Amino acid sequence: ETGVTQTPRHLVMGMTNKKSLKCEQHLGHNAMYWYKQSAKKPLELMFVYNFKEQTENNSVPSRFSPECPNSSHLFLHLHTLQPEDSALYLCASSQEGLVKVTQYFGPGTRLTVL
């Protein structure tokens, strides 16, 4: 266990559904991340939050809406997704400061959009 949990682990949704992915870190970190891992494509950063403030949005479509209510929790709200959005969504956290350190990853949510 890395100290980062994600729920649900698997999710199947239709294109008209609205769902949310949840991530929680128990490491006392101040930065949290959402990544997308599609089949046969490199892992892609989606969003970065530092101290609850969004600092990076890597040109992600608006059908993905992140929310970070506090430094320990991160959500990804999903609506009107497309089949090509099917992927493994990974959450990570790190302690950001003067020195860049490693990120700790959760187990991911396997999303299938029908």
Partner 1 sequence: KQEVTQIPAALSVPEGENLVLNCSFTDSAIYNLQWFRQDPGKGLTSLLLIQSSQREQTSGRLNASLDKSSGRSTLYIAASQPGDSATYLCAVFRNAGNMLTFGGGTRLMVKP
Q: Name the site residues for partner 1 (rule: CB under 8 A).
A: 2, 4, 31, 33, 40-45, 48, 50, 55-56, 58, 88, 90, 92, 96, 100-108, 110
The Cα-based distances of 47 to 8, 10, 61, 66, 114 in angstroms read 19, 21, 11, 8, 24
Closest to partner 1 by CB, 53 or 84: 53
111 contacts 9 by C-beta, under 8 angstroms? no
Closest to partner 1 by CB, 16 or 53: 53
In whole angstroms, the minimum distance from the beta carbon of 39 to partner 1 comes to: 11
Closest to partner 1 by CB, 15 or 101: 101
Per DSSP, helices labelled H in the chain are none
In whole angstroms, the minimum distance from the beta carbon of 55 to partner 1 comes to: 6
Q: Which of 90, 86, 107 minimizes the C-alpha distance to 3?
A: 107
In whole angstroms, the minimum distance from the beta carbon of 89 to partner 1 comes to: 11
The residues that bridge with 91 in the sheet, in sequence order, are 34
CA-to-CA distance for 25 and 40, rounded, in angstroms? Answer: 28
Closest to partner 1 by CB, 18 or 56: 56
